[in-house]
């Protein structure tokens, strides 16, 4: 499990809000040093497949196995695969696909509280949501930043929790970032020496990271720029006619509370979860049949 988390966290670009990037990079470093997952909260042991992780509710918001509204919680730092703390994007994708293909499900609510996550896995989950023929409503319950915003932007409407008038929420951080810790000085002090041997015909095997170690970031920035263009294009497509980029360029990576997010077109309304449930069912009733 530890090695699987490392593969997801280290050495890959992230779509994540900056303060959370620092926090989770610190946890990854702690795991590396202690060889323990104690720094990461454990998932609820009551979980038993989709029945608990993907609850259904009725029009009153009461949880029931045959409720017409499927809730999908998108929480914490998003990674492609499941971790000990949160569902991975592949699992979330399966849950959304199952709800989309279930005739008893009339609408889907994405309850989002995530600062973002890895680039890997985000595009596929976002496209899965965009393909759903039923109404999908995103409900911001804290953070909806970076990768989480990309994912939620594919919903028919985005509703921000009205707690404290929307000021509890953090929305945006639309951009791509790479972050790592340089531990060479600490390793040298501790007597740790890295040794790398390549095959005789693999002279450029480490050239990419050698450049980064020397502070030459041209190739990395080019990669981040290419990933970022895909990200920004998706946001502009999903929020076409709603974003007010002349008033505020929300695609540059800044974060906003609910009030400003509404002003600039990042969300559609500030309300509570019962409103989001009711709204999703109203959208379902007014949908035209698709063939």
DSSP string, 74-85: EESSB-SS--SS
pLDDT at 22: 52
Mean pLDDT of the 130-159 span = 97
Of residues 254 and 50, more confidence is placed in: 254
Task: Specify the pTM.
Answer: 0.82
pLDDT band for 24, please (50, 70, 90 cuts): low
Mean pLDDT of the 26-35 span = 52
Determine the longest span between alpha carbons in the chain, in angstroms.
68
State pLDDT tens for residues 229-284: 999 999 999 999 999 899 999 999 999 999 999 999 999 999 999 999 999 999 99
Task: Determine the topology of domain 2-285 in CATH.
Answer: 2-enoyl-CoA Hydratase; Chain A, domain 1 (3.90.226)
Q: How many CB atoms sit inside 10 A of residue 3's CB?
A: 6
pLDDT at 17: 58
- What dihedral do alpha carbons 5, 27, 218, 117 form, nearest 10°? 60
Task: Answer yes or no: is pLDDT of 48 > 50.
Answer: no
pLDDT at 14: 55
pLDDT at 94: 95
Mean pLDDT of the 166-177 span = 95
State pLDDT tens for residues 64-97: 999 999 999 999 999 999 887 789 999 999 999 9
Mean pLDDT of the 46-72 span = 80
Q: How many CB atoms sit inside 10 A of residue 225's CB?
A: 10
> 93 exposed, middle or buried (CB, 10 Å; 0-12, 13-18, 19+)?
buried
pLDDT at 43: 42
Cβ atoms 115, 147 nearer than 8 A = no
What is the per-residue burial (b if ≥16 Cβ within 10 Å, else e) of 227-245?
bbeebbebbeebbeeebee
Cα separation, 50 vs 47, whole angstroms = 8
pLDDT band for 207, please (50, 70, 90 cuts): very high
Task: Give the pairing type, strands 170-172 and 255-256.
Answer: antiparallel
Between the alpha carbon of residue 66 and those of residues 7, 10, 99, 252, the distances in Å are 38, 41, 12, 42
pLDDT at 247: 93
The domains of the chain are located at 2-285
Lowest mean pLDDT among 34-43, 124-133, 140-149, 251-260: 34-43
Task: Answer yes or no: is pLDDT of 5 > 60.
Answer: no
């Amino acid at each position: 499990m530890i090695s699987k988390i490392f593969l997801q966290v280290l050495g890959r670009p992230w779509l994540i809000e900056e303060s959370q990037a620092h926090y989770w990079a610190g946890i990854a470093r702690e795991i590396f040093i202690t060889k323990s997952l104690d720094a990461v909260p454990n998932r609820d042991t009551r979980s038993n497949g989709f029945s608990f992780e993907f609850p259904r509710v009725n029009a009153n918001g009461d949880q029931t196995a045959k409720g017409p509204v499927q809730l999908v919680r998108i929480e914490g730092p998003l990674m492609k695969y499941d971790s000990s703390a949160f569902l991975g994007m592949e699992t979330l994708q399966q849950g959304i696909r199952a709800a989309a293909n279930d005739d008893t499900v009339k609408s889907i609510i994405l309850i989002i509280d995530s600062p973002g996550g890895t680039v890997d896995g985000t595009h596929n989950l976002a496209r899965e949501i965009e393909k759903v023929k039923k109404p999908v409503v995103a409900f911001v319950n804290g953070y909806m930043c970076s990768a989480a915003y990309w994912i939620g932007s594919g919903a028919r409407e985005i509703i921000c929790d009205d707690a404290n008038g929307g000021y509890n929420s953090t929305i945006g951080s639309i951009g791509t970032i790479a972050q790592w810790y340089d531990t060479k000085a600490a390793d040298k002090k501790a007597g740790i020496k890295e040794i790398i041997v390549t095959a005789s015909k693999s002279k450029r095997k480490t050239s990419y990271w050698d450049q980064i170690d020397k502070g030459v970031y041209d190739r990395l920035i080019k990669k981040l720029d290419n990933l970022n263009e895909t990200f920004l294009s998706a946001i502009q497509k999903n929020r076409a006619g709603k974003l007010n980029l002349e008033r505020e360029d929300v695609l540059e990576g800044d974060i906003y509370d609910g009030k400003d997010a509404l002003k600039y077109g990042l969300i559609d309304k500030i309300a509570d979860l019962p409103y989001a449930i009711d709204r999703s069912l109203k959208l379902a009733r007014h949908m035209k049949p698709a063939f």
